[in-house]
């Protein structure tokens, strides 16, 4: 299942299927998950964590998928020199920047031979990313889960970006990818591969809290909210929990006062080490409207599920099982 031009992208990276696992940050996409995706013929991605844990996860993923490429995801406001060094020293085959654009990071990585893609939501963002030197783009639709830059559905957004950039720029399509038909449609619209997040979240190799997975499986709706933006004022797509039920009933974005407070908190987020996010999450309470972007990991207590962000895309309503990664890659590839 490829489109013209897609085979070149697959061949350059050395992957068999046009399937990329989204780089879910915060500890969900560790070496076990990313390594399993790459080992199954797709492109696994280690999500951003504190630098030492991030480097260890990259090494673990490559050990689990010997001879296969592994990508890395970097959240731009939180990038440190140690993250860039980990990508280079860890042999990342591709780095995806998300939540902004860092010319310094692009230059540093390209200078060491590491291709850099940027996540974009509009043609204007795509043009800026290429002007900064990016090797390719991840085009995110508004139906995606997690940290949102997408502003319109992928089916409308992807052709607009495809028309705005040179034909030889590789585009990865993110948002709404849960089945082989979704991958096929993304390729028809001009992508060289499809990026799936929620479908890989709901796997046996994911490090998400089991109750988090159950909530996603049972979700009847998602919210595009600003509630979980303390330290990082960005839109997030989540499924409901006690925090959203309390604070997003009148407006799914959250109370206006909270949105103002999160915008003012941006400098604090850039100064806070990623390793402290878990400690901040432990202080959160559903009754207090100050929520960081932390998500509930398997190692956290059950109470974390109602006071942390339950990131998931609109595909949550179409996914009904937690299965091994190898089965997900096979399904998405139409095997």
**One domain for residues 64 and 108:** yes
**One domain for residues 109 and 201:** yes
Segment 136-164 mean pLDDT: 97
pLDDT category of residue 335 using cuts at 50, 70 and 90: low
* Predicted local confidence at residue 7, as pLDDT: 62
- 57-92: b (≥16 Cβ within 10 Å) or e: bbbbbbebbeebbbbbbbbbbbbeeebbebbbebeb
CATH of the domain at 324: 3.20.20.70
Segment 298-315 mean pLDDT: 96
Q: Is the pLDDT of residue 207 over 70?
A: yes
pTM of the full structure: 0.94
Segment 61-80 mean pLDDT: 97
* Predicted local confidence at residue 276, as pLDDT: 66
**One domain for residues 195 and 139:** yes
| 81 or 1, higher pLDDT | 81
Measured CA to CA, the distance from residue 129 to residue 12 in angstroms comes to 21
Q: Is the pLDDT of residue 32 over 50?
A: yes
Q: Is the pLDDT of residue 1 over 60?
A: no
For residue 235, the enclosing domain spans 223-311
* Predicted local confidence at residue 277, as pLDDT: 67
**One domain for residues 14 and 119:** yes
* Predicted local confidence at residue 4, as pLDDT: 45
**One domain for residues 305 and 163:** no
Inside any domain, residue 211: no
pLDDT category of residue 3 using cuts at 50, 70 and 90: very low
Residue with tokens 């709706």: 221
- 248-262: b (≥16 Cβ within 10 Å) or e: beeebbbeeebbebb
**One domain for residues 131 and 75:** yes
Inside any domain, residue 39: yes
* Predicted local confidence at residue 231, as pLDDT: 83
Inside any domain, residue 248: yes
Inside any domain, residue 102: yes
Inside any domain, residue 11: yes
**One domain for residues 120 and 165:** yes
**One domain for residues 173 and 262:** no
Q: pLDDT per residue over 169-204, tens digit each? A: 999 999 999 999 999 999 999 999 999 999 999 999
Mean pLDDT of the chain: 94
Inside any domain, residue 1: no
Question: Residue 91: which region, alpha, beta or left (left: phi > 0; alpha: psi -120 to 50)?
Answer: left
**One domain for residues 244 and 122:** no
**One domain for residues 153 and 52:** yes
Inside any domain, residue 251: yes
Q: How many domains does the chain have?
A: 2
pLDDT category of residue 323 using cuts at 50, 70 and 90: very high
**One domain for residues 79 and 46:** yes
Q: Is the pLDDT of residue 5 over 70?
A: no
**One domain for residues 81 and 151:** yes
Q: pLDDT per residue over 243-285, tens digit each? A: 999 999 999 999 999 899 888 888 877 766 676 666 777 778 8
Q: pLDDT per residue over 97-117, tens digit each? A: 999 999 999 999 999 999 999
Inside any domain, residue 214: no
Segment 292-315 mean pLDDT: 95
Helices 81-89/51-64 angle, 10° precision: 20
């Amino acid at each position: 299942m490829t489109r013209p031009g897609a085979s070149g992208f697959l061949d350059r990276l050395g992957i068999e299927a046009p399937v990329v696992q989204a780089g879910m940050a915060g500890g969900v996409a560790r070496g076990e998950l990313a390594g399993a995706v790459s080992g199954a013929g797709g492109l696994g991605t280690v999500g951003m964590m504190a630098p030492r844990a991030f480097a260890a996860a990259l090494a673990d993923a490559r050990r689990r998928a010997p001879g296969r490429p592994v990508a890395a995801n970097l959240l731009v406001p939180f990038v440190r020199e140690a993250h860039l060094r980990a990508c280079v020293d860890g042999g990342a085959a591709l780095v995806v920047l998300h939540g902004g654009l860092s010319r310094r990071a692009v230059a540093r990585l390209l200078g060491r031979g590491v291709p850099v893609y940027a996540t974009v939501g509009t043609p204007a963002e795509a043009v800026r990313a290429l002007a900064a030197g990016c090797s390719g783009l991840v085009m995110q639709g508004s139906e995606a889960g997690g940290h949102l830059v997408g502003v319109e559905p992928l089916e409308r957004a992807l052709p607009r970006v495809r028309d705005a950039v040179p034909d030889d720029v590789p585009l990865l399509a993110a948002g709404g990818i849960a089945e082989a038909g979704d991958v096929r449609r993304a390729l028809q619209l001009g992508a060289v591969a499809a990026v799936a997040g929620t479908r890989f979240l709901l796997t046996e190799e994911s490090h998400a809290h089991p109750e988090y997975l159950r909530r996603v499986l049972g979700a009847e709706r998602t919210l595009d909210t600003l509630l979980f933006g303390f330290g990082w004022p960005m839109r997030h797509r989540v499924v409901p929990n006690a925090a959203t039920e309390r604070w997003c009933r009148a407006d799914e974005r959250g109370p206006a006062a909270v949105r103002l407070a999160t915008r003012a908190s941006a400098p604090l987020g850039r100064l806070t080490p990623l390793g402290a996010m878990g400690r901040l999450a432990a202080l959160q309470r559903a009754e207090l409207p100050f929520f960081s972007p932390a998500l509930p990991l398997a190692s956290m207590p059950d109470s974390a599920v109602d006071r942390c962000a339950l990131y998931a895309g609109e595909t949550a309503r179409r996914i009904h099982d937690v299965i091994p990664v190898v089965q997900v890659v096979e399904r998405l590839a139409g095997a």
